[in-house]
Amino acid sequence: MSRTWETPGGVHPPENKLQSMTQSIGHLPIPGTLVIPLHQHIGSPETVDVTIGQTVLKGQKLTTAIHSDNLPVHASTSGTVIAIDDHPVAHPSGLNALCVTIASDGKDQWIERTGIADFRRCGPLDLLQIITDAGIAGMGGAGFPAAIKLSPSNDKTVDTLIINATECEPYITADDAAMRGKTQDLIQGIEVVCHILNGPKRVVIGIEDNKPQAIKALRSYVQESSIKIVPFPTKYPSGGEKQLIYILTGREVPSGGLPIDLGMVCLNIGTLIAIKRAIVDGEPLISRITTVTGEACGVNRNYEVLIGTPISHLLTHNEFDENNCSRLIMGGPMMGFSLTSTDVPVVKTTNCILAPSHSEIPVDTPAQACIRCGLCAEACPVSLLPQQLFWYAQAKDQERLEAHNLFDCIECGACSYVCPSNIPLVQHYRSSKGEIRKANIDKIDADNARQRFEFRKLRLEQADKQRQAKREARRLVTEQARAASSTSQPGSSAADIIAAAQQRAITKKASPDQQKAKLERALLAAQSRLQEAEKRLIEATINGSTKQQTICSASVESARQKVDQAQHRLRELTD
């Protein structure tokens, strides 16, 4: 058995996983409408590629990528686009986001799919492009684009591929169900990734020992391969990427660093199955396995759920009792967040819908003053100082927060779980992170504005220096000319002056064609003024205003004189 290392901190909350594993992975009826958010991953948003009223097929792209960190989203079933507008989405902020709403036609008709059975004949870059086009993001965490994660820079090689099969958070069993029911797809996904990474030396599946059936299913497929299964004792949060790497290798990812800095890549079970489907079956990411559990649901089970399925659709088919539900949570009880509406759709990172009863997870009790017990520091798996971070977060001391490595916090919720004062520590940390990110963006904008101002100032100074240099050069030429004329004979100086004046007059004098064009323009303007004056005279006559008639008559006469003068000068020039 391979050696493992124990991470600091951690807690042992009740698992509550058995109730959702009594049945195999289920399938729900296709909902009447699917609401598909256009931005479901870390990175830039995409541009909409469909219009209202357009008919789409299952697997058809709905967006077009415009940046390297973009991922497209796809239609989860066939139907008609009925709306492209803001809609409640799965996010701790509770804000709306741009979504495409599809009315299902019930046919579930696919686009043409082209899989690659022998993927080893394709180069890594071609396979990575397929993964990107399939819209595959990490399905166990923040939703980082999988293709970018599998594309290390030229100066970094991958010697270890780690499969995160931990699923340490209570209630969630989506990965456990996938390892039992889709073992072959998982192994094929691992083989595809190994080919993309040019065959890493070590391939390790890290899994907690509370999943004996999943371990048994995996071992039946990896007996004759180089893939190694490493079980280790159950403890939350062993599923954090950095925590799992330390458990399996004893090596620590540096603060602010990434696993690739150690020559490692870590992927989730759901992500690998999605990669297999994209490469071998030619299917984009349009569904995922999601756990629906909690005492407020009469049925606890894992389902293969279409992306965009409203949460209300899942709850309806699981005998949801709203009166018995204390809150509705997307994710687990430790890292999940409460939902404000059941209209929120399932997204690529939705691994669990938790509907606990009032006895399972009571309504939040008011936070009390910190008693400085130190339990939060003991529970922190990253060895941070949660108490100090809490103080600095309250004081909005961003400099001290960064000095105490706030961004190393994985927001696992272990500190909040053990806090006897019921202080929502993670919420304070999330808020502070957002404020710091915004302050950094504002600082970058301010620096860019300062650089633009300084560049403009430098440009104006250089232009002013150039103008001064030209004036100085003209002054020197003038002085030299004066000196030359003073030493020459008086007669020649006067002649030169007259000749220069005549030359300037000739230069300034316009050609006959130019003079004719100018006179024609003057004639047109005079005629226009005459017409306007005659119009005013007619109006004054109709109105019966004697004074106004006198004024308009004078204007007409003046305009006629100017027309005559312009015509006379034009005839003289023509003759």
Mean pLDDT over 252-260 rounds to: 88
Q: Looking at residue 530, what is its pLDDT?
A: 74
Give 500's pLDDT tier (boundaries 50, 70, 90): low
The predicted-structure confidence for 279-310, as pLDDT tens digits, reads as follows: 999 999 999 999 999 999 999 999 999 999 99
With the CA atoms of 328, 331, 335 and 338 taken in that order, what torsion angle do they form, in degrees rounded to the nearest 10? -20
The whole-angstrom separation of Cα 352 and Cα 211 is 18
Which helix H or strand E contains 203, and what residues bound it?
A: strand 202-208
Other beta carbons within 10 angstroms of residue 554's beta carbon come to 12
Domain membership of residue 364 (yes or no) is: no
User: What CATH number is attached to the domain comprising 22?
Assistant: 3.40.50.11540
Assess if residue 2 is contained within a domain: no
Are residues 330 and 387 part of one domain? no
Could you tell me if 408 and 478 lie in one domain?
yes
Tell me, yes or no, whether 294 and 435 share the same domain. Answer: no
Q: By residue range, what is the domain housing residue 559?
A: 512-574
Task: Say whether both 461 and 340 belong to one domain.
Answer: no
Q: Using CA atoms, how far apart are residues 402 and 416, in angstroms rounded to an integer?
A: 20
Domain membership of residue 434 (yes or no) is yes
Asked if the structure places residue 402 within a domain, the reply is yes
**Mean pLDDT lowest for which of 156-170, 210-224, 483-497?**
483-497
Return the CATH number at 382: 1.10.1060
- The predicted pLDDT at position 502 comes to 62
Mean pLDDT of the region 533-555: 67
Q: Which residue among 319, 354, 389 closes a domain? A: 354
- pLDDT of 265 > 90? The answer is yes
Pairing status of strand 352-354 against strand 287-293 = parallel
Alpha-carbon gap, residue 112 to 110, rounded angstroms: 6
Which tokens hold the place of 1?
């058995």
Secondary structure element (H or E) that encloses residue 297, with its range: none
For residue 5, tell me if it sits in a domain: no
Q: Note whether 457 and 537 are same-domain residues.
A: no
Regarding whether 302 and 336 lie in a shared domain, the answer is yes
Q: Name the one residue in this structure whose structure tokens are 């064609």.
A: 513
307 and 331 inside one domain = yes
Examine the domain organization and report whether 499 and 548 are in the same domain.
Answer: no
Read off the pLDDT band of 207 (50, 70, 90): very high
Alpha carbon distance 17, 211 (integer Å): 10
Residue 494: is its pLDDT beyond 60? Answer: no
Tell me if the pTM is above 0.85: no
Do 178 and 95 belong together in one domain? yes
Q: What confidence score (pLDDT) does residue 56 get?
A: 96
Same domain (yes/no): 461, 428: yes
- Per DSSP, the residues of 49-116 read ---TT-EE-BT-B-EE--STT----B-SSSEEEEEEEEEE-S-TT--EEEEEEEEE-S--PBPP----
- Total domains, the chain: 3
Of 380, 361, 484, 359, nearest in space to 425 by CA: 380
Q: What is the CB neighbour count within 10 angstroms for residue 341? A: 13
How large is the average pLDDT for residues 134-159?
A: 83
Domain termination site, one of 455, 485, 509: 509
| Domain-located, residue 440 | yes
Question: Within a domain: residue 30?
Answer: yes
Q: What is the pLDDT of residue 43?
A: 63
C-alpha–C-alpha distance, residues 126 and 136, integer Å: 15
Residue that has been written with the tokens 């050069």 in this structure: 473
Of 494, 509, 524, at which residue does a domain stop?
A: 509
pLDDT tens, position by position, 2-20? 789 999 999 999 999 999 9
Residue 346 carries which DSSP code?
A: P
Which pLDDT does position 236 carry in this prediction?
Answer: 94
Measured between alpha carbons, how far is residue 202 from residues 163, 229, 245, 294, 474 in Å?
11, 11, 13, 38, 77
pLDDT in tens, 365-406: 889 999 999 999 999 999 999 999 999 999 999 999 999 999
Tokens of 416: 């909040």
Residue 445 shares a structural domain with residue 536? no
Average pLDDT across the chain, whole number:
87
CA distances from 240 to 141, 214, 374, 549 (A): 9, 20, 22, 93
Same domain, 321 and 397: no
Q: Is residue 368 part of a domain?
A: no
